[in-house]
Structure 1
Amino acid sequence: MKKRTRSILLFLAIAGAFVAGSWYGQREGVTPTNPGAHETLHRVELAQAAHASGAPAVVADAATSSLAHAHAAPADAGRDVAFLPPGTVNVSPEQQQVIGVRVSAVEESSATHTLRLFGRVVPDETRIYRLNSGVEGFIREVSAATTGSQVKKNQWLATFSAPDSRSPIQAYLVTLDVLDRAKRGGADSPAQLAAANASIQLAVDRLLNLGMSPAQIEEIGRTRADLPTNIRIVAPAEGFVLARNVSAGQKFGKDTEWFRIADLKRVWIVADVFENEAHYLRPGARAQVSLPNQRKTFPATVSAVLPQFDAATRTLKVRLEADNPGFALRPEMLVDVKLPVSFAAAIAVPAEAVLDSGLTKTVFVERGAGRFEPREVETGWRLGERVEIVKGLSPGERIVTAGTFFLDSESRMKLTAERLNGNASADRAGNAPQAEAHAHGGHHH
């Protein structure tokens, strides 16, 4: 019986050992075969967080070395590494693929960029007509023309009466009679005629100041009829009514604006431009103006007038002038403006390739064998997603255009480690003479 029990216990022990061995083997089978890839992904996440927050990119602990140490250059390349600038990092092709590093060649070429601006239609100030009163009076009649109505030249708009208008009208008629009697009496000397014409012009100016139209003044002089009881307000030019400030029976004072009319055959477009882009808009430059959601475009020209600065938006107001066939462009409409700008041959790189710290601008240049050198550059214009490099790069060099934030984190981390190592070496060098002096002093005793 004891023998049988011993056999059963032995069998159970063997079976348990087999099950434990199988479980351990399965556990070892799912262990990552490429820990470096997981480490790289972990470092990418930490570097992204550090880059986004602006904190120092210290993403390694005591048990984790930087990419420059984990993927050191071969022994025969050690001589070349010694000549590389500080902060140069070494990234294997596998890790470049993981972190999304992309490299492209630097090229020098001319380019044409299209500035896209937002604009607003306003009337041409030289084509705006304001009808103001020069005397107190009452509005007697008003036409059907309202704000937005299109009117013709000399079209009747309203009628008013003013007690103070009778004297200027009488003075005008008397002046005409004096001129007629002088002509009939043979007073045809140049001096006399000039004096008579000057008197008539003075009388006409007084009537114009009242608000009387030239057409009605001419009619009064031609008919010599009784003094008109009402004065007509007419449109001085063809255009659209921008403002109407009269109604029947209204009493108005001196300098009251009755109507404002604008000729919209030609309009202005006022576009907002950032300060760094304003110098590209040269007088006479051609642009295209279009209405949003409409298939209508209008050629426009940049005006020679200096742009006006808007302190509220910190933009410059650039004026463009455009013909307006069919009056499709109305005041206060919002439009899109496209202005092509041509540049001379220059080195331009993607904006993502340039790291701007506020004080310096840096790109990473490929130096071969997975090594990337941080290099300070000077930039020029920036339009869209392209930046001009004025100094620091040459055509043919290859730079990093994607994944630069991770390389920057690695570079700064390496520079920090090098400074720490340098300080530690300096401390050891400084302590060595003191230790030697203590040693000699003890030996003397």
Structure 2
Amino acid sequence: MGVNYCKFIFGERRIAMKKWLKPFAVGMVALASLCLTGCKQKEAASNQKVTIEFFNQKREMQPTLKKIIKKFEKEHPNIRVKETDVPSAGDVLKVRMLSGDAPDVINIYPQNLDYQTWAKAGYFVDMTHKSYIKNIVNNYAEKFAINGKIYNAPLSANLYGFFYNATEFKKLGLKIPKTWAEMKALVKEIKAKGKTPFALAGTEPWTLNGYHNLALATVTGGFNQAENLVRYSPVNSISLKNKYIQSDIKRLDLLRGTAQKNWQGASYNDAVTAFTSGKALIMPQGSWALPVITSQNPKFKVRTFAFPGNKVGQEMTVGSGDMALSISSRSKHKKAADEFLKFMCSPEAMQIYYDKDGSPCTIKGVKQKGKNSELGGLSQYAFTKKHMVWLGQKWTTENDFFNLTGNYLLTGDKKQLISDFNTTFNPMKATN
């Protein structure tokens, strides 16, 4: 093959290649330009601010939560958290969940039957393998798992028992009861000294849910025994002849005729005021009342003790996850909601929360007070066998139980109480 022929052939190829490369190069430049534009658009989109809604059921903690949210937003400038606080939050939440208007992040109590039903129905994001769940101690998140999966991060736990006026107790020489017999003697002694034993809220019977839960548990022997008495017994079997029901009524009777004046018309806030003003020396209530107490009277010296059993060592408290958070599976901003959960599960956030709330915190690294603190008489039992979960965990409704408790305290009608018991629990027994 001649040299001139080869030059001709390869020359033609070079010319053809140049003709082919030119549009290819133009296409590559255009493609690179599109990619650069797309990347810039993606980067801009990632820098866009998003707003997530945090539905809170603990209205007394709103100011503290605002501080935590402000701190979170400072560290996450592209995420805004809108906190929602409404009256009758549980009822409002139910309507919103069932109508498809679920908030992004929800403070929901994990022992609640609604929560259990919604978790099973896929309403919440599965958090089982989230790194922040490892920050929760005592396997407390696993305690409320649904079918082996975690849909809720319980950051604190509530406890129910008795708040008492520590200053007056010391002044009058009153001692903390270790048994139910000592509890009755204490009430009698307080009355003998011309003082009022209890601060009650007659218009808000939910405030006595813990008292009645613990009355049933301590007379029967525990959570399962109490459930067997009222929830899993035969239809219409709750009777005045039952020795446990008789003991339960005696514990309810301790509150009758021993409360502040006009307690029948008192609200929850009224009861707290009666307590902090010294009009009553004891208030049966949950740990959530501490911020309200300290807000009303910062100098008030308050302490707590658990619900006594028949014998020393049988005292109990009842509670569940309190500031407990779930993410809606319908959230349009799951990544942002997840960042907020991660922050809330940090000691940085929950130390701020605990310092105001005082309820036992489940987050590793949070410094907590000892048994001599305001809630120490209850928190010493947190996450132990003496910290019973609310009996309502196995019920389809709690409201009727609240009302039967309140109605009995108002009327003292034992036959009506028994009728209300059976009316409340008979429908549940149909599913046994």
| Fold shared by both chains (TM-score > 0.5) | no
Length-normalised TM-score, structure 2:
0.23
Length-normalised TM-score, structure 1:
0.22
More helix by share: 2
Query: Considering only CA atoms, is the larger Rg found in Structure 1 or Structure 2?
Result: 1
